[in-house]
Structure 1
Amino acid sequence: MREFIVEADGGSRGNPGPAGYGAVVFDAATGQTLAERSEYLGVVTNNVAEYRGLLAGLRAAFDLDPTATVHVRMDSKLVVEQMSGRWKIKHPDMKPLAMEASRVFPPERVTYEWIPRERNKVADRLANGAMDAGVAGAAEVSADPVSAAAEVSADSVAGADASRVAAATTTAATTDAAKTAATKTAATKADADIRAAKTVASPGWGPPDMGAPATFVLLRHGETALTPQKRFSGSGGSDPALSEIGRDQAERAGAALARRGTIQAIVASPLARTRETAAAVAGRLGLEVTVDEGLRETDFGAWEGLTFGEVRDRYPDDLNAWLADPEARPTGDGESFTETATRIAATRDKLVAAYAGRTVLLVSHVTPIKTFVRLALGAPPESLFRMELSAASLSAVAYYADGNASVRLFNDTSHLR
């Protein structure tokens, strides 16, 4: 049986601050370097970066030979002791990463050894190179330039069509002008990440003792059979399950959230498509799912299952009223946008109180997620018609103790490419 040695490291300049990891795979018999991995992570903690380095190294080894045995060497006493089972993993940010790492190879084929930093120079060099490149403007240092360009474009352009932007960025990156533009964009992103981390530590204009915000990461469920047909699908319809595409989207969202390593709890709408999406993510993160009725989709009454065109043909007066007045209900005593907003505001306040200072994944639907964003921005009800929210997309809003909110992300679909 083949044996690999994996050396990994991660670092954060500020903790949290601009962070990166490095990992290298050696042939245990010959000492030959077989693979190197490194990546700029944005703003995360030192421990998250170290775990991400371990995960990258194990995955690189698995790609080389999934039947091999692996000996991991790291200068992180915490990671080595936790992965060896001698120390408990108490921090919620570490648990999903540790679980993900333990699943790459069967645990009996992986051993761990602590080594001093001076013996971990290759991984340390790769990690520092990733951090240097990230701060300088390269979003990712890896063997996959397409992924690097996609990461920059999707994180930098809120609300854009992620696949279209990624394709344009990848193509344009062959020109000097596009490279310069990408560098400036990524540098702006790095600066923004640093500012965001500082805001968490000392939020807004308020007093310094407000503490960290409650951060809601808002995940729309994956596709159902009704999604590509653009049919009204609320809480009063057939309650469809995810399609095959939707299940794949849920798995991809879960993998992306596991890599980020920041989710501490999961709350989902009671409808089938959201519970199924949440279960897929929870399996990746090692967390339980709590169901909250307040996160359900709007009830569209008699419009459930119909396309916009079909509603316009059958109920033109009701549709025009609904488009013009947030208090108008869909035909058949559906739920108005005003009623949805009242429900979402109450749910928001309850969850902010329950999860103060924590990062929570809310798995919900188009109207509730748009409403969270609209209320955070103080935007008028008609703004709901001006937001595009894709299936399995991620958005994020942070809520502070003084009642202020900050929209951090909207309609990110980079994990689906």
Structure 2
Amino acid sequence: MREFIVEADGGSRGNPGPAGYGAVVVDAATGETLAEAAEYIGVATNNVAEYRGLIAGLTAARALDPGAPVHVRMDSKLVVEQMSGRWKIKHPDMKPLAAQAAQILPPSQVTYEWIPRAQNKHADRLANEAMDAGTRGEQWTPSATRADAIHPQAQEAPLQGRGERRDQPPPAATRTTPGGEAAKAVSDVRAARNLAADKPSVGWGAPPDLGPPTTFVLLRHGETPLTPQKRFSGSGGTDPALSETGRDQAERAARSLATHGTVQAIVASPLTRTRETAATVAARLGLEVVIDEGLRETDFGAWEGMTFGEVRERYPEDLNAWLASPDAEPTGGGESFTATAHRISATRDKLTAAYAGRTVLLVTHVTPIKTLVRLAIGAPAESLFRMELSAASLSTVAYYADGNASLRVFNDTSHLR
């Protein structure tokens, strides 16, 4: 039985801004590219563009063989988790797109996997080439589907999903061509791909028109009575307030942020220690505090209020499992680091869209800050145990319109000295 891999991506330069998607269908057995799809879609958000890329990829796979299993690989955690049924779809713009994607092939025929952005370069390049052409006012499409790759049953199948008109022409990337033309198209695309590989997409070679990044200044709350004792203090414990030292730290952080004068908005975790820290900064900057549940600390279950040594003594097996795997939960139904990462990445996507191009202070906790940092630099989950994050420290991550991120500052405590 044939099996396809669909890799899809989408991007928005401004979020919302000029947007486009790219998708590629690969033969799972040989690794050979069978079809490509890409389109400039005008002004849209990253998430809309990513869903459009998924739809195009599934449509192209169905055109090749409507009965083949499809494994979708995307670097959009939101799309993967929503289409896998693990996350609810709440945004009104996402619901119809998710429904359209779900109708293209039977759900039992499609599986989803999240991959790092570095492993999704083919689809990302297609999306960026489509956006480049669109912003120049040009029409651009990738190579056509290989004619010899199409299953006979697909010749009679509608190409654009169930419920759409059958008299519409298929997308440019799924039109068939005679063998010679298809070979030339594939050759042209491979040549273009080689040229594109020589052009850096980030860093010094980044295009100059990405606009200002969305910048998160990450402030860990000040000390509580539990902090100097190094006790587990998550979202499921006693919700301690700041200590006298913590209040002084919050004031020092506020003075430093006021001196820089770049923060335009403040978003905080709902827990007492973060709300108190945020309120101190907000009073100094003359801003309002927005509370976001997604920024809360991990729930450490039965370990709340204990030291590491106490947990080691009482729950040694659970602690060893937790240290060995990000999927392991603390004793008593706490939150795993994997679950925390899903929550934080969704919150990150929501906030970067809401505050596009602005500098936002996020007042939160150790695990959310470390998670944002590790996701920005593409570090593995075990890196959480290898970062030191002090109370009332400042870190900074910038998010660019092409989907890349840059860690600028980590664990700065100079304002506390």
Give the TM-score, by structure 1 length: 0.51
SS at match of 1:233: coil
SS at match of 1:367: helix
When residues 204 and 345 of structure 1 are mapped into structure 2, their CA distance, relative to the original with a 3 A threshold, is farther
1:325 paired with 2:322, answer no
Q: Is contact 1:203–1:210 with CA below 8 Å preserved after alignment?
A: no
1:265 paired with 2:265, answer yes
Q: Is contact 1:297–1:364 with CA below 8 Å preserved after alignment?
A: yes
Greater Rg by CA: 2
- CA distance in 2 between counterparts of 1:383 and 1:209 reads 33
- CA distance in 2 between counterparts of 1:408 and 1:357 reads 16
Residue segments in structure 2 that go unaligned for 5+ positions in a row: 1-201
- CA distance in 1 between counterparts of 2:273 and 2:251 reads 13
- CA distance in 1 between counterparts of 2:320 and 2:204 reads 40
Instruction: Give the superposition deviation at 1:210.
Output: 1.5
The corresponding residue for 1:230 is 230
Query: RMSD across aligned C-alpha pairs, in angstroms?
Result: 1.1
Q: Deviations over 1:40-89 (max 9, x none)?
A: xxxxxxxxxxxxxxxxxxxxxxxxxxxxxxxxxxxxxxxxxxxxxxxxxx
The corresponding residue for 2:252 is 252
SS at match of 2:408: strand
1:410 paired with 2:400, answer no
- CA distance in 1 between counterparts of 2:243 and 2:293 reads 23
- CA distance in 2 between counterparts of 1:344 and 1:286 reads 27
- CA distance in 1 between counterparts of 2:331 and 2:234 reads 13
- CA distance in 2 between counterparts of 1:369 and 1:203 reads 23
- CA distance in 1 between counterparts of 2:205 and 2:399 reads 13
Q: Deviations over 1:232-265 (max 9, x none)?
A: 0000000000000000000000000000110000
Instruction: Give the superposition deviation at 1:355.
Output: 0.8
- CA distance in 2 between counterparts of 1:270 and 1:205 reads 40
- CA distance in 2 between counterparts of 1:345 and 1:244 reads 33
Letter of the 1:226 partner, please give it.
Answer: L
The corresponding residue for 1:400 is 400
The corresponding residue for 2:6 is none
Letter of the 2:318 partner, please give it.
Answer: D
The corresponding residue for 1:120 is none
Q: Deviations over 1:113-160 (max 9, x none)?
A: xxxxxxxxxxxxxxxxxxxxxxxxxxxxxxxxxxxxxxxxxxxxxxxx
Letter of the 1:355 partner, please give it.
Answer: Y
The corresponding residue for 2:305 is 305
- CA distance in 1 between counterparts of 2:243 and 2:361 reads 22
Aligned pairs for 1:25-40 within 5 A: none
The corresponding residue for 1:53 is none
SS at match of 1:397: strand
Instruction: Give the superposition deviation at 1:204.
Output: 5.8
- CA distance in 2 between counterparts of 1:203 and 1:265 reads 27
Instruction: Give the superposition deviation at 1:203.
Output: 7.0
Aligned pairs for 1:321-400 within 5 A: 321-400=321-400
When residues 204 and 302 of structure 1 are mapped into structure 2, their CA distance, relative to the original with a 3 A threshold, is farther
Q: Is contact 1:267–1:363 with CA below 8 Å preserved after alignment?
A: yes
Give the TM-score, by structure 2 length: 0.51
The corresponding residue for 1:121 is none
- CA distance in 2 between counterparts of 1:381 and 1:223 reads 25
Overall identity of the aligned pairs, in % = 81
- CA distance in 2 between counterparts of 1:273 and 1:246 reads 9
Q: What is the number of equivalent residue pairs in this alignment?
A: 216
SS at match of 2:297: coil
SS at match of 1:360: strand
Letter of the 1:384 partner, please give it.
Answer: L
Q: Is contact 1:203–1:211 with CA below 8 Å preserved after alignment?
A: no
